[in-house]
Amino acid sequence: MQYQQPNKPVLSVFDFDGTLTYRDSFTLFLRREFGIRTYAIGLLRMTLPSLKFLLGISSRDELKQRLINTFLCGISADSLAQLAEDFCEKSWPTLMRSKACAGVSEQVNAGATVTLCSASPEIILRPFARRLGVELIATRLEVSNGILTGLIDGQNCRQSEKVSRLISTYGDLKSFHIRAWGDSAGDKQLLEAADEPYYRWFH
């Protein structure tokens, strides 16, 4: 396709789950890397938090925090990083949208600064970003002495937090011509901040 040709540097920002993938990567990671039994037990522990979220008693961010605490608290960061490498290698052929990956490569080859910007855990998406050859902004997990505490470090990287993280990483966004790709309400503010917003472009 023909993109606008701006007179300032291009910052191309891609949401990950649903935009570059066919499904949510984090829940798939938990099921595949921890096994069906552990995953099922974890889901049972998530029943009450999920019900509170559905009833509007708790927020999506609180539910995400509980999910991370349920599955990842007490795990070695190095071990989780290795699981993420294995997951990327095994899941890539069926998880990633080939058209979307080609779109990312097009931006890289055009000389844009390209980053993923996702609510999924940063440590799990690092292998995907490396394979795509792009930078990464995602939800950071708190680590103490090499062990995950089960807490999010900072804020869940969705909605306005995506824009805040872009600013903290790249500075004044007005210095860039921004192209952004997203697929959900979690990308609303990101798409609004873009000069060229693309909603569900690869679907």
pLDDT given for residue 108 in this prediction: 98
Is the Cα dihedral 28, 32, 34, 40 positive or negative? Answer: positive
**Model confidence band, residue 4 (pLDDT cutoffs 50, 70, 90):** confident
Is the pLDDT reported for residue 21 higher than 90? yes
Instruction: Quote the CA–CA distance of 25 and 136 in Å, as a whole number.
Output: 15
Alpha-carbon gap, residue 149 to 147, rounded angstroms: 6
Average pLDDT of the residues in 161-172: 98
What is the arithmetic mean of pLDDT over 141-156?
97
- Which tokens hold the place of 159? 């909605």
For residue 3, name the pLDDT band (cuts at 50, 70, 90).
confident
The span from the CA of 98 to the CA of 185, in Å, is 23
Residue of 153, 145, 111 whose CA lies nearest to 11: 111
77-95 helix and 25-34 helix, angle to the nearest 10 degrees: 110
Q: Where are the domains of the chain?
A: 10-199
- Which residue, chain included where needed, has tokens 């009833």? 55
Distance CA 199, CA 203 (A): 9
| Domain 10-199 = CATH 3.40.710.10 | no
Tell me the two tokens of residue 73: 């608290």
Cross-strand pairs, 139 = 121
127's CB contacts (< 8 A; 6+ apart) are 84, 85, 87, 88, 89
**Predicted confidence (pLDDT) at residue 15 exceeds the cutoff of 80:** yes
Two tokens at 202? 């690869």
Model confidence at 35: pLDDT above 90: yes
Q: Is the pTM of this model over 0.85?
A: yes
The two tokens of residue 42 are: 């974890």
* Residue 68 amino acid letter: I
Closest CA to 18 of 10, 26, 9: 26
Q: How far apart are the first and last CA of the chain?
A: 15
Instruction: Using alpha carbons, select from 189, 179, 183, 199 the residue that is nearest to residue 4.
Output: 179
Q: Which two tokens stand for residue 114?
A: 């390209």
